[in-house]
Amino acid sequence: MSFKRDKKEEEDSGGNPYQNLDKTIILQEARYFNQSPVNPRKCSLILTKILYLLNQGDQKFTTQEATEAFFATTKLFQSKDVMLRRMVYLCIKELSTLAQDVIIVTSSLTKDMTGKEDLYRAAAIRALCSITDSTMLQAIERYMKQAIVDKNPAVSSAALVSALHLSSTAPDLVRRWANEAQEAISSDNAMVSYHALGVVAGSKRNDKLSTVKLVTRLARAPLKSPYALCHLIRLAAQLVEDDDSDAAQPYIEFIECCLRHKSEMVIYEAAHAIVNLRKTARDLAPAVSVLQLFCGSSKASLRLAGARTLARLTAKHPTAVAACAVDLENLISDPNRSVATLAVTTLLATGAESSVDRLMKQISSFVSEISDEFKIVVVRAIRRLCTKFPRKHQSLAAFLAGMLRDEGGLEYKAAIADAIIALVEENAEAKETGLAHLCEFIEDCEHTALAVRILHLLGREGPKSRQPSRYIRFIYNRVILESGPVRAAAVSAVAQFGAQRPELLPNIRVLLARCQLDEEDEVRDRAIYYSAILDTGDQQLINDYIVNVPKPNPVLLEKALRDHLATTPDEPFNLLTVPAEEERKESKEAIVEIEVRKPVQMSIEEIYAEQLAVIPGIERLGPVFKTNTPVDLTEAETEYRVRLLKHVYARHVILQFECVNTLSDQLLEQVHVRLDVPPEYEIKSIVPCQKLAYDKPGSVFVIVEYPCAFLDSLGTFGATLEFVVRDCDPNTGIPDPGEGYADSYPLEEFEMGCSDQIRARAGSDDWEQTWERAANAPEASDTFVLSQNDINEAARAVCEHLGLPKAAVVGDAVKDIRGGGIFRGGAPVLVRARLAAAGGGVTMKLAARSPREDVAQLLLAAVG
Amino acid sequence: MGLLDKLSVWLGRGRAEVTVLVLGLDNSGKSTLLQALRPPDARAPPQHAAPTVGQTQEHFTSGGVAFSAWDVSGAPRHRALWERHYRRAHAVIFVVDSADHLRLVVAREELELLLAHPDMFGRRVPLLVFANKHDAPHALAPMQVAAALGLERITDKPWHICASCALSGAGLADGVAWLARQLRDAHLPHAHT
């Protein structure tokens, strides 16, 4: 009772003593550091305040203020108080990125780091590494090497972790400490051993052979430290993933052997690694049984680990997980809600249709008690259920709608909206109910981004429904009640209805007319724009500008506009030259990978735009039309590896030869490419690669102008790599004195085909009409006999030649390929091909329509 | 020395250490000199001193005065940092390599900048100049160094030059004793009356 009261009082009176700190006052106080003798207690307090402010981040220090504070702090080195000194180290570390001239404490820190006081040494090393730049590193190298092999584990660990941090800025230097780190791996201290392994493995990250050696050696003589062992398992798993052959067998054996280790951490890491490897369900059995044991453990963390890994595994091997159903059932009533959630969702994913209702009931009993993160897990599970059991959509949608009404953050709400959107798109029966739920949701949605997305969806799906007018009321409510961006989105959605449902057009006109009086510019602009287009009554115009609007890739569009302003601001900008946004690839989600490794999705054009920027005069070529996927011009395991990228522009092509020198004892200089171009092509300029060091990719760029006639643009290029070789020291990369010798290296030939120059896409639903509309455009057609025997194979080959995706093929016995695209320079083209098997061969009738007849002919020539 | 002993007890207890700046061009011998001034038991084993980066801090006692010495790097890129210490310095030790004829002008220029700095100008801060490495061949005599540095023109500060050899420690005690005397005089003018 009394304890309770104390606690309450504490809460009342306590609060944060560092609240309401003011930056200027503290900087004033920091001047106190200059006084002597130093008062350690008072100075520690001031340092604490500075640290608090720095970490709070709402009152940012300017460079000058930080430098002032930093120099004042350095004065405290004259005090011998241990606690104060350690505070000084912390402060130096925090200020090191903000202040100038931080290197002035280098000598003070080296003194502490090599001194007798053990309490100073580890912290001094960490502070030292945070203040040194790469130029000063040489000076402290000797001390670092000593510290790494120091017998004090704290010092050794500090040095190793610092080395790990430094390896991002000065990898070469840290690589030289590998011998010392190697020695530290066998340390008795668990942490030192782990950190040392981290440094050694990090320094060999790019060198597969020595990583293999390292793992093999350490796997044979097992490490004592469980942390280090976990890291080793990860390294081994990485090796197995890179190499599927039998050579990886010893690593798999090693990992499986770790399943019997006495430390739970190691067991889990091994099980996790096995589950992650792409293997069959049978190989997983030992790992799964370990996870199953974890589920029954008395420790909550182990239960969570087991349930979580099993949950992730369901997507890949549902059958393997199904065996654990009993254990998971037990976890449903687990006091830890996170564990219970994972158990339920896993069971949902593996269970039969009959058990869905029961499990859903279980979830709803505790859904309000779990955190957003796990609610998202539940939502994802339900979303998968929708796909798996379409018949259950009624109850699932109702459940999702219920969750949508609950409190929750944007991410959670977005996940639910995603799930409903997916439901609407996949299941025609669920469309009406799903849309109704979404309509209800936007009535009371505080997240602008989400509201805009849902409005867009309503605009797309609403007009196709049975009673479109229902949705218009919801959408128009937004126009009256919401903020600017939402109103603008609502206007666009309303316009969609007008464009697709002629019977509603008069009403829509009235609504748009009202929107023209809006106070927000964007809303007015859109309303006027859409009214004007709808008023024309031109079906083609409406289709192109309201219903089927191409969406250019925003990043490239921005770049193209900037280039356009820089070079030819007076000419009109052609939107067609910007690549359209690619259809989102089948979302792999986290299901396939059990670990969440999400690469940032970037289109290939975005990745290379930066590299191309080095070419002088690149902006004169205009925006990049298309970058083709790279082609290898050498065998995989050769001295020099060369990949070719074709960056296609309206009138030119930039050939980027991405070269990698795999010989550590050679340095290549003045690398360029001698090109044999087909007739009519003209080489404009070559940007050689001045220096190609070992394992550092470099690129040679060749700008080639296309022939005037499109038809001449098909051809074969020959290429030879030419360079000057200089022998060098494999360790330092410093070339031997003296002249090098010239050498050349033949590359494989490559083609410039039709698919390289066209941005194609598969025909959509309304392809038939588009084709008809283009009837008066010039057409080229011909009949071919294809060499392939199998009609599927033939269809695939044709698609490849034309650059069309596989989705363009429809039909079974008679294959129909339909597609369209834009040729470089902006000419649209439509193509249709009919393939039929006829007496052992395949015949094809190919027709192409384009306003530019030569483009249509080129398409035919590409196949012929 | 009864009076002095009493004085030092009184000084040691009542007054804190005196802050003294040790300045000079790179490779003039500042760190070695301070190393030689440390009490024998705290002295690190003799080794070739590495160039100081930034600053280090030493404590030593002489003539009853406790010194807290700031050894500031003399490398060209770090010389700009000297001025950060001027304000709180009670005394300055300027170390010159008397065998480095060529760079004497540089030392003179730096010294002039130091004396003209707002934080230094007009303050009665004792200036002790060590003509270091006097055992080296071709070393200049202290008087020649004084002339080369233009010390005779200094009017606002007491100054003193003495030859020294930081490696052997010769001459250091004399110089520091002068400094201690100056500081005592400055802070306790009544002690002599």
- Full 3-state SS string of A3-15: HHHHHHHHHHHCC
DSSP code of A31?
A: G
Stretch B18-35: mean pLDDT: 89
Pick the residue with more confidence: A822 or A226?
A: A226
Task: Give the chain A residue whose CA is nearest to the CA of B75.
Answer: A104
Domains delineated in chain B: 20-38+77-192 (3.40.50.300)
pLDDT greater than 70 at residue B7: no
Indicate the pLDDT class of residue A141, thresholds 50, 70 and 90: confident
Q: How far apart are CA A843 and CA A840, in angstroms?
A: 10
Looking at residue A1, what is its pLDDT? 42
CB-based contact, A186 to chain B, within 8 Å: no
Lowest mean pLDDT among A10-24, A273-287, A662-676: A10-24
Lowest mean pLDDT among A374-383, A541-550, A678-687: A541-550
Stretch A239-256: mean pLDDT: 80
Q: How far apart are CA A456 and CA A478, in angstroms?
A: 13
- Three-state SS at A631: strand
Average pLDDT value for chain A? 80
Q: How far apart are CA A661 and CA A673, in angstroms?
A: 15
Q: How far apart are CA B79 and CA A302, in angstroms?
A: 59
Looking at residue B187, what is its pLDDT? 66
Find the distance separating the first CA and the last CA of chain A, reported in whole Å.
Answer: 92
Residue among A34, A101, A136 minimizing CB distance to B88: A34
CB-based contact, B57 to chain A, within 8 Å: yes
**Contact: A36, B88; criterion CB under 8 Å:** yes
Indicate the pLDDT class of residue A585, thresholds 50, 70 and 90: very low
Q: How far apart are CA B59 and CA B39, in angstroms?
A: 9
Tell me which residue of A404, A407, A408, A406 sits closest to A382, measured CA to CA.
A404
Looking at residue A580, what is its pLDDT? 64
In Å, how far from its chain's centre is CA A485? 27
Q: How far apart are CA A820 and CA A767, in angstroms?
A: 9
A-contacting residues of B 86-105, CB under 8 Å? Answer: 87-88
Task: Give the chain B residue whose CA is nearest to the CA of A39.
Answer: B16
Stretch A614-643: mean pLDDT: 78
pLDDT greater than 50 at residue A589: no
CA atoms within 13 A on the CB side of B51: 17
Pick the residue with more confidence: A240 or A601?
A: A240
For Cα atoms A742, A655, A651, give the angle at the middle one, nearest 5 degrees.
135
Bridge pairing between strands B65-72 and B18-24: parallel
The alpha-carbon gap from B42 to the nearest alpha carbon of chain A, in Å, equals 11
Average pLDDT value for chain B? 82
Lowest mean pLDDT among A263-277, A554-568, A608-622, A655-669: A608-622
State what percent of residues in chain A have pLDDT above 70: 92
- Over the range A470-496, which residues count as b (16 or more CB within 10 Å of their CB) and which as e? ebbebbbebbeebeebbbbbbbbbbbb
In Å, how far from its chain's centre is CA A692? 29
Q: Are the beta carbons of A176 and A211 closer than 8 angstroms?
A: no
Pick the residue with more confidence: B190 or A33?
A: A33
- Three-state SS at A787: coil
Pick the residue with more confidence: A379 or B179?
A: B179
**Considering only CB atoms, which chain B residues are within 8 Å of A77?**
57
Looking at residue A282, what is its pLDDT? 67
| Beta bridge pairs of residue B189 | none
Q: How far apart are CA A604 and CA A579, in angstroms?
A: 11
CB-based contact, A74 to chain B, within 8 Å: yes
In Å, how far from its chain's centre is CA A382? 25
CB-based contact, A78 to chain B, within 8 Å: yes
Residue among B51, B56, B68 minimizing CB distance to A111: B56
Q: How far apart are CA A291 and CA A297, in angstroms?
A: 10
What residues contact residue A801 under an 8 Å CB cut-off, 6+ apart?
A753, A754, A755, A862, A863
- Three-state SS at A614: coil
| Residue B168 annotated as binding site | no
Instruction: Just give the CATH number of A755-863.
Output: 3.30.310.10
Tokens in use for A583? Answer: 């259809």
CB-based contact, B38 to chain A, within 8 Å: no
pLDDT greater than 90 at residue B93: yes
CB A638: neighbour CB atoms within 10 A?
11
CB-based contact, B84 to chain A, within 8 Å: yes
Q: How far apart are CA A2 and CA A90, in angstroms?
A: 39
Indicate the pLDDT class of residue A100, thresholds 50, 70 and 90: confident
Stretch B13-28: mean pLDDT: 79
Stretch A359-364: mean pLDDT: 76
Bridge pairing between strands A682-687 and A841-849: unpaired
Tell me which residue of A601, A701, A723, A590 sits closest to A652, measured CA to CA.
A701
Question: Longest C-alpha distance within chain A, in Å?
Answer: 103
CB-based contact, A70 to chain B, within 8 Å: no
What residues contact residue A132 under an 8 Å CB cut-off, 6+ apart?
A103, A106, A140, A166
Which helix (H) or strand (E) element contains residue A626? strand A626-627
- Over the range A213-226, which residues count as b (16 or more CB within 10 Å of their CB) and which as e? ebbeebbeeebebb
Task: Give the chain A residue whose CA is nearest to the CA of B54.
Answer: A104
pTM: 0.58
State what percent of residues in chain A have pLDDT above 90: 4
Q: Which of A1-10, A388-397, A575-584, A847-856 has the highest mean pLDDT?
A: A847-856
Indicate the pLDDT class of residue B46, thresholds 50, 70 and 90: low
Tell me which residue of A751, A753, A689, A697 sits closest to A721, measured CA to CA.
A689
Q: How far apart are CA A744 and CA A674, in angstroms?
A: 9
- Over the range B59-84, which residues count as b (16 or more CB within 10 Å of their CB) and which as e? bbbebbbbbbbbbbbbeeebbebbeb
Q: How far apart are CA A475 and CA A296, in angstroms?
A: 51
**Contact: A101, B81; criterion CB under 8 Å:** yes
- Per residue in A151-197, pLDDT (tens digit) is 889 999 999 999 988 888 878 888 888 888 888 888 888 899 999 99
Pick the residue with more confidence: A90 or A358?
A: A90
Q: Are the beta carbons of B125 and B155 closer than 8 angstroms?
A: no
**Considering only CB atoms, which chain B residues are within 8 Å of A139?**
50-51, 53
Looking at residue B47, what is its pLDDT? 62
Q: How far apart are CA B154 and CA B147, in angstroms?
A: 12
Looking at residue B48, what is its pLDDT? 67
Q: How far apart are CA A836 and CA A820, in angstroms?
A: 21
Indicate the pLDDT class of residue A78, thresholds 50, 70 and 90: confident
DSSP code of A809?
A: E
Strand order in the sheet with B18-24: B55-62, B65-72, B18-24, B91-97, B127-132, B159-163
Tokens in use for A824? Answer: 């470089």
**Considering only CB atoms, which chain A residues are within 8 Å of B56?**
107-108, 111
Looking at residue B54, what is its pLDDT? 78
DSSP code of A60?
A: P
pLDDT greater than 80 at residue B114: yes
Q: How far apart are CA A462 and CA A468, in angstroms?
A: 6
Looking at residue B43, what is its pLDDT? 63
pLDDT greater than 60 at residue A517: yes
Lowest mean pLDDT among A84-88, A268-272, A762-766, B53-57: A762-766
Indicate the pLDDT class of residue A5, thresholds 50, 70 and 90: very low
**Considering only CB atoms, which chain A residues are within 8 Å of B23?**
none
| Residue B24 annotated as binding site | yes
Indicate the pLDDT class of residue B126, thresholds 50, 70 and 90: very high
Tell me which residue of A327, A336, A237 sits closest to A288, measured CA to CA.
A327
Lowest mean pLDDT among A257-266, A361-370, A749-758: A361-370
- Per residue in A758-796, pLDDT (tens digit) is 877 776 666 777 777 777 778 888 888 877 777 777 777
Q: Which residue has the tokens 């590359």?
A: A747
- Over the range A571-606, which residues count as b (16 or more CB within 10 Å of their CB) and which as e? eeeeeebbbbeeeeeeeeeeeeebeeeeeeeeebbb
**Considering only CB atoms, which chain A residues are within 8 Å of B51?**
139
What residues contact residue B71 under an 8 Å CB cut-off, 6+ apart?
A107, B22, B30, B31, B34, B52, B55, B56, B57, B58
Lowest mean pLDDT among A180-189, A353-362, A493-502, A680-689: A353-362
- Full 3-state SS string of A185-236: HCCCCHHHHHHHHHHHHHHCCCCHHHHHHHHHHHHHCCCCCHHHHHHHHHHH
pLDDT greater than 90 at residue A648: no
pLDDT greater than 70 at residue A596: no
| Residue B85 annotated as binding site | no
pLDDT greater than 60 at residue A853: yes
Regarding the domain delimited by A604-752, which CATH topology (the fold level of the hierarchy) does it fall under?
Immunoglobulin-like (2.60.40)
User: Rounded to the nearest 5°, which phi and psi values hold at B65?
Assistant: -115, 130
**Considering only CB atoms, which chain A residues are within 8 Å of B75?**
none
pLDDT greater than 50 at residue A599: no
Task: Give the chain B residue whose CA is nearest to the CA of A33.
Answer: B88
* A430, burial (CB in 10 Å: exposed 0-12, middle 13-18, buried 19+): buried
B-contacting residues of A 109-148, CB under 8 Å? Answer: 110-111, 136, 139
- Per residue in A424-456, pLDDT (tens digit) is 777 777 777 788 888 888 777 778 888 888 888
- Full 3-state SS string of A202-216: HHCCCCHHHHHHHHH
Which helix (H) or strand (E) element contains residue A557? helix A554-567
pLDDT greater than 90 at residue A381: no
Lowest mean pLDDT among A200-204, A726-730, B136-140, B164-168: A726-730
Q: Which of A737-751, A814-828, B82-96 has the highest mean pLDDT?
A: B82-96
The residue extents of the domains of chain A are 604-752, 755-863
pLDDT greater than 70 at residue A586: no
Q: How far apart are CA A685 and CA A113, in angstroms?
A: 56
CB-based contact, A71 to chain B, within 8 Å: yes
Q: Which residue has the tokens 């008679």?
A: A814
Bridge pairing between strands B91-97 and B65-72: unpaired
Tell me which residue of A221, A248, A225 sits closest to A237, measured CA to CA.
A248
